[in-house]
Amino acid sequence: MPSAMRMIDIAVNLTDGMFKGIYNGKQYHAADIPAVLARAWSAGVDRIIVTGGSLEESREALAIAETDGRLFCTVGVHPTRCKEFEESGDPEQHFRALVSLAKEGIEKGKVVAVGECGLDYDRLQFCPSEIQKKYFEKQFELAAVVKLPMFLHMRAAAEDFSQILDRNKHRFCAGVAHSFTGSAEDRDRLLLFDNLFIGVNGCSLKTSENLDVVKGIPIERMMIETDSPYCEIKNTHAGINFVKTTWPSKKKEKYDQDSTIKGRNEPCLVRQVLEVVAGCKGIADIDQLSKALYHNTCRVFFPQDLDSAADALLESGSDAL
């Protein structure tokens, strides 16, 4: 793999049971995060953002992020889990605990975004829309207090999502609508927010319609991700035709730490997302594409890197990115 290839996976659910070897409540193999990360690093991934989706999960995401200098995390509450604010018995205290955790993680240089937060009207059985909206709005307060970008989730809720975003656009510096699976109209609605990027993964690349929508996302407004262990690019997906890089894989029952696991996505496979984006956009220079996406991600989540890269650029007079 060319050394110029550097990727950041902005969405990895390392707190998920599958990375502990647990599938549907049953243990199939030992926890294997070190093996998963080793594959990612050797594939050209040089940073990963671990997703937090509840107060407790955000605590775990921070603990995982502290185990490696290349791991970072988010702090926030996913729309399907927003009932936890009220079930805690004291929503305000629950919110203060999130603020406190975010501040602790920022001090440690690990928390880079507020989220995962937003609206998910596909799964209202887990949390009604009114509660989702209330606590989506509340998390803009968190972003304003800690001055972090937002890691956002929008599923079947483009209109309400855009209205809430518009009402609160002064409260956050930038953000990404991750795991985007919406229509061309949804895409264009998000692109109206000039500080918002769109995150693409396997779920964004399933059908030829999806590929047409992704084709219309400007490179300068895109990021790539796996959302692993979910959202892998499957053989039945339209995007598979553009995949060039594969890894050996085995069933979970025949676990081998040197292979990926069939049906479990992992961060090394962000390389495939990059390949499908290049393919569907007709981009021949994949190195240049990876640099552009890397730059977008640093702009939002790692701005200090761009400052030091710019300084190096001035000193060397050459391309430091």
* Alpha helix (H) residue ranges in the chain: 33-42, 55-65, 83-87, 91-107, 129-146, 158-167, 184-191, 208-215, 270-281, 286-301, 303-316
pLDDT in tens, 70-98: 999 999 999 999 999 999 999 999 999 99
Distance between CA atoms of residues 209 and 205, nearest Å = 9
Rounded distance between C-alpha atoms, residue 258 and residue 247, angstroms = 9
Classify the C-alpha dihedral 137-143-146-150 as positive or negative. Answer: positive
pLDDT at 5: 86
- pLDDT tens digit sequence for 236-280: 999 999 999 999 999 999 999 999 999 999 999 999 999 999 999
Question: Could you say which DSSP state residue 317 is in?
Answer: S
Quick one: pLDDT at residue 316? 52
pTM, two decimals, is 0.93
Provide the pLDDT for residue 310. 53
- Report how far residue 193's alpha carbon sits from residue 165's, in angstroms, rounded to the nearest whole number: 9
